[in-house]
Amino acid sequence: MRREAIWTEKYRPRKLEEVSGQEAIIRNLQSYVKKRNLPHLIFSGPAGVGKTAAAVAMAREFYDDTWAENFTELNASDERGIEVVRNTIKNFARTMPIGDAAFKIIFLDEADALTDAAQSALRRTMERYSGTCRFVLSCNYSSKIIEPIQSRCSVYRFKSLSYDAIASRAKYIADMEGLTLSEDALRAINYVSMGDMRRAINALQSAAVLSNEIKPEMIYEITATARPDEIEALIETAM
């Protein structure tokens, strides 16, 4: 039996232009790639809005065939303490980039989960290895990143995705997978996703397991989400 790929990975953007709903930020990142230079960055915003996708796509465009050797992704919520900074991050940052790259990139997801001591150690590492490495920190709340790090970074605030951004990507995936997707189903996907692209794609894939014809009731059922009209009726009853 063929193993089905996870669609959030299968349809992860490979280029910056494929990242949905963050046009102004993407233009700036494309400018960094064009100039072959990059400051330290902070990507702030809710889950599923393109922070990781933008970082990976940017690395692919910076490094082309050597992107995997010059880019590493770590999740700070897995190891919140100072040791991950002293060991894993420092060991990657101190080595020279591969090929003709001027620097490597460390993407640190959920950086706001790091303890203050770990963030202080990270700040020192950023300063010491700025000649060979750039840091991209991803977080839900930039206010949880200590000020000495914030002052060394350009901060980009990612917004929740609009209906158009969610619908456009869902339609593309549906076309690629041979699915029938009605406008009502698109509205249902947008409603349950709450601006989160990962949630939208996961809902679409779960529904596709049941049928190639995606209906709104399937989306609400598999995500255990009350329909908008049901919520309205409940509110009216309560009043």
CATH number at residue 195: 1.10.8.60
Q: Is 210 in the same domain as 94?
A: no
Side chain identity at residue 59, one-letter code: A
Number of structural domains in the chain: 2
What pLDDT score was predicted for residue 60?
97
Provide the 10 A C-beta neighbour count for residue 239: 5
Beta carbons of 153 and 42 less than 8 angstroms apart: yes
Q: Is 26 in the same domain as 135?
A: yes
Beta carbons of 158 and 25 less than 8 angstroms apart: yes
Q: Is 40 in the same domain as 69?
A: yes
Q: Would you write out the chain's pLDDT as a tens digit for each of its 239 residues?
A: 344 789 999 999 999 999 999 999 999 999 999 999 999 999 999 999 999 999 999 999 999 999 999 999 988 876 655 677 777 888 899 899 998 899 999 999 999 988 888 899 899 999 999 999 999 999 999 999 999 999 999 999 999 999 999 999 999 999 999 999 999 999 999 999 999 999 999 999 999 999 999 999 999 999 999 887 777 777 777 76
Beta strands 71-75 and 180-181, pairing class: unpaired
> What is d(CA 28, CA 32) in angstroms, rounded to the nearest whole number?
7
What pLDDT score was predicted for residue 2?
40
> What is d(CA 220, CA 192) in angstroms, rounded to the nearest whole number?
7
Q: For residue 196, what are its two tokens?
A: 């989160």
What pLDDT score was predicted for residue 48?
95
> What is d(CA 14, CA 167) in angstroms, rounded to the nearest whole number?
19
Beta carbons of 137 and 145 less than 8 angstroms apart: yes
What pLDDT score was predicted for residue 1?
32
What pLDDT score was predicted for residue 183?
94
Q: Let me know if 31 is exposed, middle or buried by CB neighbors in 10 A (0-12, 13-18, 19+).
A: exposed
Domain hosting residue 168, numbered range: 163-238
Out of 157, 179, 203, a domain closes at 157
> What is d(CA 111, CA 83) in angstroms, rounded to the nearest whole number?
14
> What is d(CA 181, CA 164) in angstroms, rounded to the nearest whole number?
15
> What is d(CA 44, CA 72) in angstroms, rounded to the nearest whole number?
19
What pLDDT score was predicted for residue 79?
61
Beta carbons of 159 and 49 less than 8 angstroms apart: yes
Question: Is position 54 within any domain?
Answer: yes
